[in-house]
Every structure is written in structure tokens, then in C-alpha cells.
Amino acid sequence: MTKPTPTGLGFRFPAEWEPQAAVWLSWPTRRATWPRQFRPIPGKFAEIAAQISRRQKVRINLARPLESGARALIHRADADMVNVEFFHHPTNDAWCRDHGPIFIRNDRTGEVALTDWNYNAWGRKYHPFDSDNRIPGLTARALGMRRFRNRMVLEGGSIDGNGAGLLLTTEACLLNKNRNPRMDRTGIERNLRDFLGAGSILWLGDGIVGDDTDGHVDDLSRFFSASGVVTAVESDRGDANHRALQENLRRLRAWRSPSGRRLNVVELPMPAPCHFRGKRLPASYANFLVINGAVLMPAFRQPRRDARAAEILSDCFPGREVVAIDCLELVLGRGTLHCISQQQPL
């Protein structure tokens, strides 16, 4: 007898702008992620946790001995501590978007469940990652949620959904042989359809320079409505990101639904290149996080460009406050706000 899939049971992958119960973070501990630059990172996580706590719950994975220090930093950041919850789930690293569960919702019953995919640290690039891979199971146990397991390697940052069955991803990441070498595009699409309700999948091409995830879509293109997507662009033809971002823009503009509907594509300029020790960092305004009533946007100490990005996102998300958070130190670890977080829908 074939086991019913989450989609077959009526579950879907909600859009990020739908009402949220909480946002999950994994407290930073791996100093090698920010080599010789780790000192300000816990304080930055505390600042982000405080911003979230003023609007909804923030739930934090961490080892038990770290709780008192994390609590003190978050309190100092003026958080609403009633909305801050700690879960003694040890992790190897801080990228909760990728090692955390991907939540799904059944609109008919109101049940929220989670999907638990295999996690291999972006193609076994960073060891160890065993504790990170256990996070979805620990989360399901802590929340008493139904858990749907899938052996396919999938990170949350590699997909973005509109809540209505359309999924964005990239060929550079999901078709990379360091993830699922025995699976082809058809098999990957089947898993996304069966577990996340992806009726259509829009495949983009390559990611941005400096991204060690092999092209996560959350640095490139993000839905802001069921038919609207904001996408990173680079106007400088001499910039290393120009060609790939133009190709992704072309694919978005060329997409049609089965009924012939187009996407409303909004261009989001890239920040000026950010470097550390001679290497380009994956700084992108597209790595924003949508929460209840607000959009947390990464800023890079570039006043004019930061302000322009905030203006565009404000137009995309009317009624939500756009909060710019300085992420220049955070991006030294090769990720920012969306990478460190995972939303849990109501």
C-alpha cells in the first residue's frame, strides 16, 4: 500500500508573508564560520531576535550551557522576553534556514506539520553537520507536530514559494551532484510536488559570486505575492554577477502559468561589492526575512543603495514596516537574515 504524501493529505508550503506563529534561529557557536570575526556575531543575533520578538515569538535552538549568555544578550537588545523561547537543541552551525524543518500547513484541518529533509552542509563542505541534521526531528518532538521525512537533500534557502503551488529554485543548487547524485530533475520535482505541494517549479540558473551554497535562490529571487517576485539585478556589465542575474531575470519574465498568466517581476539592485580578505561576499538585499507586520532587510553600510532597496521592498510589501539591519559583519559568514531563520506558520 502506498503511503500518502503530505500533498495528498492536503498540506501545502505556505508563503512567507502568511501569518506566522514564530521564527526559529540557531544560536551561533561555530567560530570558524566567522574566522577571527566572531566577537560581534552573538550580539547581532540578539539584535535580530529582539526585532522579531516585538512582533511574534522567536524560538532559539542552542545547547543548554549557552542559554544564560544568549538570554542576557537578547534582554540587553531590548527584546520582549515573553516572546523569546529557548530549546535545548545543540547545533553545529547557525544556518537554521537550511538545517531547520520546512513547515507545511493543511488549510482544511488547520494542522501545521513539518518536513524533514536530509542535510549535508551544502554538499559536505563543512564538517561536522550531524547535530544540524537532527534539528527537524527535535523540533517535531518539542512541538508535538507531525513529521514527514524525506531522504532527499534539500535546504530551505534553495526554494521559495508563493503559497499557491509555484516554487522557485535554481539548477545550480538542486541539480548539483553534491546533493542528490542519483536523482534527476524529474525525481527532484516529484519530491517537491509530493511534500511541498509544488504544482509548478520555475528553475533559475546560477547564483551570485561568493555564495558557498551553490546558488541558493534566497539571494536571488523572492516572491512578495502570489504573482509577484522581486529579483536581484546588477546593472554594471563588468560585474561578475551581471550575466547570471540577467539570465535569471529573463527566465522570470518568460514564465507563464498554464493559463498564460505572467509574473509581476520587480528588479532589486544589488549592493556594491563587499569583500573580505580579497574574496567577494554574497551580499544581497534579496536575503530579507518577512515576519508579522514587517520585513527585516539586510543593509551593508551603503546609505543610498540600502535606502533604495528598502524603498522597493516597502512597495512590494505595503502595510509592513521595512526594518534595515546592518549585516556587513554577518555576511562574513556568507549569509544574512533569511539564511539564519526559518518561519513557522500559524
Which cell is 287 given? Answer: 536575503
Q: Tell me, yes or no, if 96 is annotated catalytic.
A: no
Which cell is 19 given? Answer: 501569518
Q: Are strands 166-170 and 160-161 parallel, antiparallel or unpaired?
A: antiparallel
Q: How far apart are the first and last CA of the chain?
A: 32
Nearest partner of 288 among 320, 249, 256, judged by Cα? 320
Burial, 319: exposed, middle or buried (Cβ in 10 Å; 0-12, 13-18, 19+)?
Answer: exposed
Q: Are strands 20-26 and 279-280 parallel, antiparallel or unpaired?
A: unpaired
Helix pair angle (67-76, 41-53), 10° resolution? 60
Rounded Cα distance between 299 and 111, Å, is 36
Partners of 59 in the beta sheet? 24, 85
> How remote is the C-alpha of 13 from its chain's centroid?
13
Rounded Cα distance between 293 and 81, Å, is 19
Q: Which residues of 269-292 are buried (b: 16+ CB within 10 A; e: fewer)?
A: ebbebbebeeebbbbbbbbbbbbb
Please state whether the peptide bond connecting residue 136 to the residue before it is cis, i.e. omega within 30 degrees of 0.
no
Rounded Cα distance between 159 and 170, Å, is 8
* Residue 291 DSSP code: E
Decide if 141 contacts 200 (C-beta within 8 A).
no
Rounded Cα distance between 255 and 248, Å, is 11
Partners of 296 in the beta sheet? 289, 323
Tell me which of 96, 173, 327, 339 is the catalytic residue.
Answer: 339
Using DSSP, state whether 115 is helix, strand or coil: strand
Q: Which residues are catalytic?
A: 339
